[in-house]
Structure 1
Amino acid sequence: MTTTRLTAGDAELTVAPDNGCRIESLRVGGTELLRQGAKYGCFPMVPFCGRIENGRFRNGGSLHQMPLNAPPHASHGTGRNVPWRTVAAEERRGSFDYELTDPWPYEGKVTQTFELAEDGGSLSLFMGVETAGDSFPAQAGWHPWFLRNLGHGGDVELAFDAEWQEERGADHLPTGKRIAPLPGPWDDCFGMPAGVDVTLTWPGALELKVTSRTEWVVVYDEQDEAVCVEPQTGPPNGLNTLPRFVTPIEPLELTATWTWRRLG
């Protein structure tokens, strides 16, 4: 499998375009921050994020059915399941794209760019969705699997200040009710109108901040091996409940930044 390696300072990022253009590895000072494995790392969620109820969504009068890869729902988009094209690969920056195709019913293009800061202290992420014709609802986001423990220091601690939490029903979909944020463990979507701002701290090892101008983030920490902090352009099932349309004159764009510093 072909990979693209970006380096700056003591940071090393490896992207696997053939495996859904996921970040396969992020190493800082030789320490791996992401869970390893073909399904892990950090994958793009596009053209939708999280679960779609029963895999169905409407665009005007048209009803579309997505494969039920998380029965009874569809989950996390289709972009992670297809090879992407490498557009540019430089020392600190890589750009990739792919053409939307079946089972997604609309033509368009998705672009993803990663860039390490010159000092190796941060990573900038960009994703864009364009239509090649008809307008359609879409979402974009990232699903990183940060290791719970880096092999030294303590287990990761999560800190964030959300304005609300989407109440989660028994079907794991938002009920439409916003509630005060509850203590974890979480597999939940939170609202941050001022922008996503979540801090992961591995005591005695590293602090990493995930920030984005989008107001939605899913936090998942129910596994022993890893935790997930997922900035995205809308809540789960958002194609149905809060559609954001990609039009010929207005693409869907999302940016995020991971910034880290060593502790101790």
Structure 2
Amino acid sequence: MMTRLKIGACLTLDTLPDHRDWIFEADRDLELQDFLSHAALTTDRDVLIERARQALDGFRGKLSIHGPFEGLDIDNKDPELRPVITARFLSALEVADRIGARKMVVHSPYTLWYQNNLHSYPGYAETKLARIHDVLGPVLRRAEELGITLVIENIQDVRPETRRAMVDSFGSDAMALSIDTGHAQLARRMSGAPPVEDFVRDAGAQLAHVHLQDVDGHADRHWAPGEGEIEWSAVFRAIAECEAPPHLVLELRDATHIPAGFAYLRDRGLAV
């Protein structure tokens, strides 16, 4: 019989009250997604941190935050912009520490373009990786000091081993892998990537975080499980076989669909 896995959700400070009892009473995993914008990490940061502290009073589950990403490519080619991106991530790390989050999601920079052009440009892989280290090196060192893990989420990744090798290159326990099930399924349909469960199996012991969302294979829908085409039994079987249970959170576009998504997985013996 498959082990049922406890799951939580990605929420904002505005949507958390609607799901507070479900999250808090069972000590479920929670990912806060309020600290993404420029304002949230600069002018509004302290106010949001205080709101988060109050909202999290009594919370005993595992907490993460989603780091900023729009316009903040971790392999940015402009040497004047890379320090700005690093500074934004460092600000988000401080937020995570101040509210008690021990994981922060960072977006992967790998794409189908990269995979198809890997051997077309001399040194392409090495120069890209060097830029990534330039941006994330100081962030990782600070994460190590704070006891926070950076989890690298697949976005347009086609080969899961490419992102895993990037994580390996840092040689730090403060960096691990995140899998977004919907993104993996989109890559399967659009770019010939492996099935979602293979992303999980490739990650193995490095898997520390999972965004659970369903898609139709055409767009990044962030539907509740059961509304799309993902083979959830296979995905949960692979997750259950990991050495340590990752942070498991429903990441749905409409938070009101969280109960339905949870019920779908629960009724199939996959989640509690």
TM-score (norm 1): 0.28
TM-score (norm 2): 0.27
Q: Which has the higher helix share?
A: 2
